[in-house]
């Protein structure tokens, strides 16, 4: 399957859809997931057009993984989490719903389960507050 330049993340990168940005550099963008499964659930995407891990040029990870690590550290601290999950899905059969390479960062607290993915967006004011908290922990 090919990359769809009209996927929601491509639209976010072009500024056609707003997002709650956490971090951005010339290669990557990190922002809040609008359908979070835990408080602080955020995403890191490359600015290059890749559908998933298998079609990505390996050099993208040289730039992207330090951003994933940086944002994960900040999200864990900002959410007072005990750890985090890092998730990455490839193709529909594996649970991928947006076909632009991305990593999910899910700050986890002991005894607090993930919420099911309902497909419903949460309150944007709350996401803005969480994004600010995470941004304030970036080093």
As annotated, the active-site residues are 102
d(CA 77, CA 89): 25
Helix (H, G, I), strand (E, B) or coil at 74: helix
Question: How would you classify the pairing of strands 42-46 and 83-87?
Answer: unpaired
The CB-side HSE value for 92 (13 A sphere, CA atoms) comes to: 1
Q: What is the DSSP letter of 62?
A: H
Residue 17's contacts (CB-CB under 8 Å, 6 or more residues apart) are 8, 11
């Amino acid at each position: 399957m090919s990359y769809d330049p009209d996927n929601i993340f491509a639209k976010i990168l072009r500024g056609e859809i707003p997002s709650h940005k956490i971090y951005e550099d010339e290669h990557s963008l990190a922002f809040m997931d609008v359908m979070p499964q835990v408080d602080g659930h955020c995403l890191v995407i490359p600015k290059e057009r890749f559908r998933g891990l298998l079609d990505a040029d390996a050099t993208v990870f040289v730039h992207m993984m330090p951003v994933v690590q940086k944002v994960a550290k900040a999200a864990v601290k900002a959410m007072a989490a005990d750890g985090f999950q890092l998730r990455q899905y490839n193709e529909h059969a594996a649970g991928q719903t947006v076909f632009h390479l991305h990593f999910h960062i899910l700050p986890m607290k002991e005894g607090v389960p993930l919420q099911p993915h309902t497909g419903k967006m949460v309150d944007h004011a709350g996401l803005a507050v969480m994004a600010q908290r995470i941004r304030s922990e970036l080093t």
